[in-house]
Amino acid sequence: MRTELSLTNILAVYRGTAFAAGATGCLIVFTALEALIAGWLGARHAEVVLPVVAIAGLALIAIIVWGYFSLRRALSLAETRRRDLLASLNRDALTGAFNRKYFLDRLRDMVREAERMPVAYIQIDMDHLKAINDGTGHAAGDQALVRLVRTLEELVPGAVIGRLGGDEFAVALSGVSSKAALKRLGDRVLETLDRPEPLAGRDVRLSATMGIATAPGDAGDADTLISKADLALYKGKNGGRGRVIAFERELLSEERYQRFIERELRAAILMDELEIHYQPVFGQDGRQRSVEALVRWRHSVRGMISPGAFVPIAEQSDLIAKLGQWVLRRVCADVPRLPTKVVAINVSAAELRHPDYAARFAEEIAAAGLMGERFIVEITETAPLHKNSAERKNLEFLRALGVRIAVDDFGAGHASLGYLRDLSFDILKIDRAYVAEITSRPVDSMIVESICKIAKGLGIEVIAEGVETPEQHAALVELGCTGFQGFLLGRPQPLRAKIEAEDAAIKAA
CA neighbor of 88 nearest in space, from 100, 75, 97: 97
Instruction: Give the ranges where 403-469 is alpha helix by DSSP (H).
Output: 417-422, 432-436, 442-458
Q: What is the pLDDT of residues 154-190, one digit of tens each?
A: 999 989 999 998 889 999 999 998 999 999 999 999 9
List the beta strands (DSSP E) in 368-507: 375-380, 404-410, 427-430, 461-464, 483-484, 493-494
Confidence grade of residue 2 (pLDDT, cut at 50, 70, 90): very low
Q: What is the pLDDT of residues 353-389, one digit of tens each?
A: 899 999 999 999 999 999 999 999 999 766 666 667 7
Contact (Cβ atoms closer than 8 angstroms) between residue 475 and residue 506? no
Share above pLDDT 70 across residues of the chain, in percent, rounded to a whole number:
77
pLDDT of residue 283 exceeding 90, the answer is: yes
Which pLDDT score is estimated for 236? 87
Q: What is the pLDDT of residues 113-123, one digit of tens each?
A: 998 999 999 99
CB atoms within 10 A of CB 191: 11
Q: What angle do CA 383, 324, 399 make, to 5 degrees?
A: 60
Average pLDDT of the chain to the nearest whole number: 83
Higher-confidence residue of 213 and 8: namely 213
pLDDT of residue 104 exceeding 50, the answer is: yes
Confidence grade of residue 238 (pLDDT, cut at 50, 70, 90): confident
pLDDT of residue 414 exceeding 90, the answer is: no
- Arithmetic mean of pLDDT, 15-32: 58
Torsion of CA 482, 487, 492, 497, to 10 degrees: -110
Number of residues that this document lists for the chain: 509
b/e burial code for range 51-78 (CB count within 10 A of at least 16 → b): eebeebbeebeebeeebeebeeebeeeb
CA neighbor of 297 nearest in space, from 309, 288, 287: 309
How far apart CA 38 and CA 70 sit, in angstroms, is 38
How far apart CA 203 and CA 73 sit, in angstroms, is 51
pLDDT of residue 218 exceeding 60, the answer is: yes
Confidence grade of residue 103 (pLDDT, cut at 50, 70, 90): very high
- Arithmetic mean of pLDDT, 53-61: 60
Whether the pTM exceeds 0.75: the reply is no
Residues 6 or more apart whose CB falls under 8 angstroms from that of 376 comprise 290, 342, 343, 344, 345, 403, 404, 405, 406, 426, 427
Q: What is the DSSP letter of 97?
A: P
Higher-confidence residue of 31 and 189: namely 189
Which pLDDT score is estimated for 496? 73
Distance between alpha carbon 356 and the CA centroid of its chain, in Å? 24
List beta partners, residue 297: 274, 305
